[in-house]
Amino acid sequence: MAIVFDLGGVVFKWKPLELLQTIFPERAPNMAAAQQWADQIFESFNPHSDWAQFDLGLIAPDALAAKISKRV
């Protein structure tokens, strides 16, 4: 049996643009730049994206990181 915890929006607020601005201030100094990075990293949250597959547990973290690093 697996237990899944959906933390985003429950335990903490999921704000990817603000997260990118905090972690990468030199690459995402404003919301427009953060949006561009988010589109590349999260593939606009497309339901068939790598991020969505990771969110469903279908891609391992290392594989996701490799796919994202190729895009960015």
pLDDT class of 5 with cuts at 50, 70, 90: confident
What are 18-41's pLDDT values in tens digits?
Answer: 999 999 999 999 999 999 999 999
Domain ranges of the chain: 25-71
Which position has the higher pLDDT, 8 or 30?
A: 30
**Interval 5-13 mean pLDDT:** 75
Q: Is 19 exposed, middle or buried (0-12, 13-18, 19+ CB in 10 A)?
A: middle
- Side-chain half-sphere exposure of 52, counting CA atoms within 13 A: 8
pLDDT at 65: 96
Decide if 27 contacts 37 (C-beta within 8 A).
yes
